[in-house]
Amino acid sequence: MDNIIQRLGLVSHWIGFITGITFAIVIIWGGYSSVMYIYTITGGDVRAVYVFQLLLLAIAAFLLPLLLGWLIRYTLSGKVKILPFQD
């Protein structure tokens, strides 16, 4: 029974990791196309704040699912590292 619980924790951790990567890629891709659209509309006036906010949003979108998966695994299995492949 203990082995099953640890495996469920590992699966939830990997799901959170993969979901975070997917969210970050989608946000970067969509945000980049939006910044390029603003760039073409305004004739080249794109502020660095937009790019910085885009990067912060992508990092947050990666970390939130990863930390949620880690929290589930930590609750089920005990002390584990933050990245699922660091076992």
**Domain residue extents for the chain:** 11-77
pLDDT tens column, 65-75: 999 999 999 99
In the Cβ-directed half-sphere of 84, how many Cα atoms lie within 13 Å? 26
Tens of pLDDT, residue by residue over 35-85, are 778 777 777 766 777 778 888 999 999 999 999 999 999 999 888 998 888
Report H helices in 1-87: 2-42, 48-77
Model-level pTM?
0.82
Q: Compute the distance between CA of residue 15 and CA of residue 9 in angstroms, rounded to an integer.
A: 10
Residue 85 is classified by DSSP as T
Q: Which residues contact 46 (CB under 8 A, 6 or more apart)?
A: 35, 38, 39
